[in-house]
Amino acid sequence: MRTVKQRSRSAFIVVMSVTLLSLVGCQTNPYTGRSQLLMTSVSGEMQMGAQAYDQVKSDPKMRPSQDPREIEPVKRIAARIVEAAKRSKYAEMANQFQWEVTVIKDDKTANAFALPGGKMAVYTGIFPMAKTEAGLAAVMGHEVVHALARHGAERMSQSQLTNTTMQVVGAVAGATGGGGMLGQATMAALGVGAQVGVLLPFSRKHESEADYIGILLAADAGYDPRESVALWERMGQASGGGGPSEFMSTHPSHETRIDQLKKWMPEAMAIYQTRQPVPAAFLPGVQ
C-alpha cells in the first residue's frame, strides 16, 4: 500500500506533466510533413517581427541604401517571391503578412533575413555571393520560408519547452527528495545535452526546409533554381571549404546543402519550366 508521501509525489508529477503538455501545440509543415512544436500565436510572432524590424531600421549603424541600382532588383525579386508565396501551400500565411523589404548598405555583410510578418532586409554584401538576380532569389526565397514556416517561433518554443522541462525536473527532484542526485552539474549537463541533441538538429532541419521550399518558391517566381547550387558552391569557396562540423553547427555543411539541392532540383525544375523565365541579370557591382 502506498504511503501518503508516495501518493503526493505521484500526484505532483502528474500535475506538472499535464501543465507541461498543456503548453505544447503542434502543426505540420505542408511541404515536408514534419511535425512542428509551436507555443506562440501568429499574431504575436508578427508583432515581434515588426518590433525587431523597427529596431534594425532605427540602429544608427544601419544605413539603408539610397542607390536605385541596388534597391530596384531587390524589390523586384521580393515582389516575385511574395507572389509565389501567395500561390504556395503557405498562401493563407503569406496573405496575412504585411510585406516590406529594405536594402541595407553594408558591403562587408553577406546576409539577408525575413522576419515573421514579412519584414525583409538584404545587405549589399550578399550581391557578389549571389551574383545574379536568380542567385539572390534563392537567398530571399530561403529567408521568406523561415518566416512562413514559423521557424523562429519553433526555435523559441523549443527553448521555452526545454526551460520548462528543466524546471519540472528540478521541482520533481525537490518533491521526491532527490535533490542530491540532480545537482547543478547535472542540470548543466542536461542543458548541454538538450542543446546538442535537440535544438541544434532542429535548426539544421529548419535550414534544409528553407533550402528546399525556397528553391520551389524561386522556381515558381520564374528564377532558375539551379543558381542555388552555384550560390552555395561560391559560399563554400569563400569559407575555405565545407564549413564547420555539422554536429555542432546550426547549419548543414556546404557539401550537404549542395547534395540536397541537387536531389530536390528535378522538382524545382519541373515548376520552373512551366513559368516565364526571368532574365538572368547580374546584380550591381558584379562582373
- Helix H, strand E, coil C: the string for 150-203 is CHHHHHHHHHHHHHHHHHHHHHHHHHCCCCCCCCHHHHHHHHHHHHHHHHHHHH
Q: Hey, is 24 helix, strand or coil? A: coil
- What's the pTM value of the predicted model, to 2 decimals? 0.80
Amino acid, res. 40: T
Amino acid at 124: T
Q: How confident is the model at residue 169 (pLDDT cuts 50, 70, 90)?
A: very low
**Catalytic one of 45, 143, 209, 227:** 143
Banded model confidence at residue 223, pLDDT cuts 50, 70, 90: very high
What are the backbone dihedrals phi and psi of residue 252, each rounded to the nearest 5 degrees, phi first? -65, 155
- The answer for residues whose C-beta is within 8 angstroms of residue 66's C-beta and 6 or more apart is 105
Measured distance CA(267)–CA(34) in Å, rounded:
19
Cβ neighbours of residue 54 closer than 8 Å, sequence gap 6 or more: none
Could you report the per-residue pLDDT of 240-275, keeping only the tens digit for each?
755 555 555 667 888 999 999 999 999 999 999 999
Length of the chain in terms of residues written = 287
DSSP secondary structure code for residue 196 in this structure? I
Mean pLDDT of the chain: 81
| Dihedral sign computed on CA atoms, order 195, 197, 202, 208 | positive
C-alpha triplet 161, 165, 169: angle, nearest 5°: 175
The whole-number average pLDDT for the span 24-44 is: 88
143 part of the active site: yes
- pLDDT above 60 for 113: yes
Beta bridge partners of 113: 121
Taking the C-alpha atoms of residue 236 and residue 239, their distance in angstroms, rounded to an integer, is 5
Residue, of 13 and 227, whose pLDDT is higher: 227
- Structure confidence at residue 133 (pLDDT): 98
